[in-house]
């Protein structure tokens, strides 16, 4: 559900600080350095990186734009391998039977079972393709705002880590407290008053 889809889920960030130097070049360098690898690693359970909005499966920032008007728009792609439990169960049963036959026993120990499980997961992890998830990022650089088109916690965490690494700028997630800190024009005494507020109660007792 990205920026150009018909429905959006959005979490927001305030960016602490500014880029020093040529903004567009530095953004481009950060995007290219931390773009998702073109070739999938068969060993990684999860990999994440930037990719152009117009070309999510070929991360080429030379060919595809990340600048639209005065905004930056690109995507975070998170590829995750996920092995269905039933598949693990199937190969466990097959491997346990093989092992019993090989050892000439009709049972195997708990430790042997664990070893088989690890081996099965390892083999399947190499074979199974990763599932890509793509989340758009709209960066209003002038206003220090970022709109991440997802509210999934895991995607937020990947974004925060990768953004800091790529641009050396800290994204601060926006929620009631941080909106007050970054967007209000409250003077310190007013801010102090806000921060000493307590939840309201509207219950019947209060009408007395």
Judged by the rule CB under 8 A, the positions of this chain that interact with other proteins are: 3-4, 6-12, 53-54, 68-69, 71, 73, 138, 140, 147, 151, 172-181, 183-184, 186, 190, 193-195, 197-204, 206-207
| Residue of 162, 180, 26 whose CA lies nearest to 171 | 162
Q: How far apart are CA 164 and CA 113, in angstroms?
A: 42
Tell me how far, at minimum, the Cβ of 63 lies from other proteins, in Å: 13
| Residue of 9, 13, 56 whose CA lies nearest to 164 | 13
Q: Choose between 43 and 68: whose C-beta lies nearer to other proteins.
A: 68
Tell me how far, at minimum, the Cβ of 139 lies from other proteins, in Å: 10
Q: Choose between 6 and 111: whose C-beta lies nearer to other proteins.
A: 6
Tell me how far, at minimum, the Cβ of 44 lies from other proteins, in Å: 28
Pairing of strands 131-140, 145-148: antiparallel
Q: Do residues 49 and 162 lie in contact, with contact meaning Cβ atoms separated by under 8 Å? A: yes
Q: Choose between 118 and 143: whose C-beta lies nearer to other proteins.
A: 143
- Write out the DSSP string of 161-174: HHHHHHHS-EEEE-
Q: How far apart are CA 19 and CA 123, in angstroms?
A: 44
Tell me how far, at minimum, the Cβ of 10 lies from other proteins, in Å: 5
The two tokens of residue 27 are 């953004």
Q: Choose between 10 and 24: whose C-beta lies nearer to other proteins.
A: 10
The two tokens of residue 6 are 């018909």
Q: How far apart are CA 133 and CA 75, in angstroms?
A: 10
Q: Choose between 117 and 191: whose C-beta lies nearer to other proteins.
A: 191
Q: Choose between 43 and 175: whose C-beta lies nearer to other proteins.
A: 175
Tell me how far, at minimum, the Cβ of 62 lies from other proteins, in Å: 17
Task: Fill in the DSSP letter of residue 143.
Answer: G
37 Cβ partners below 8 Å, 6+ apart? Answer: 47, 49
Tell me how far, at minimum, the Cβ of 113 lies from other proteins, in Å: 39
């Amino acid at each position: 559900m990205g920026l150009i889809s018909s429905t959006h889920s959005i979490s927001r960030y305030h960016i602490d600080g500014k880029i020093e130097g040529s903004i567009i070049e530095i953004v481009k360098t950060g995007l290219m350095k931390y773009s998702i690898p073109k070739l999938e690693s068969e060993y990684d359970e999860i990999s994440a990186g930037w990719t152009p909005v117009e070309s999510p499966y070929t991360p080429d920032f030379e060919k595809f734009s990340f600048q639209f008007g005065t905004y930056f728009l690109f995507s975070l792609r998170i590829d995750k391998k996920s092995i269905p439990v039933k598949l693990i169960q199937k190969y466990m049963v097959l491997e346990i039977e093989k092992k019993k036959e090989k050892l000439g026993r009709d049972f195997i120990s708990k430790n042997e079972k664990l070893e088989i499980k690890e081996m099965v997961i390892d083999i399947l992890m190499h074979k199974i393709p990763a599932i890509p998830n793509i989340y758009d990022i709209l960066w209003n650089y002038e206003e220090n705002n970022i709109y991440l088109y997802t509210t999934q916690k895991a995607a937020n965490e990947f974004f925060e880590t990768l953004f800091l690494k790529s641009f050396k700028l800290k994204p601060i997630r926006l929620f009631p407290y941080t909106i007050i800190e970054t967007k209000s024009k409250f003077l310190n005494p007013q801010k102090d008053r806000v921060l000493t507020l307590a939840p309201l109660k509207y219950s019947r007792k209060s009408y007395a």
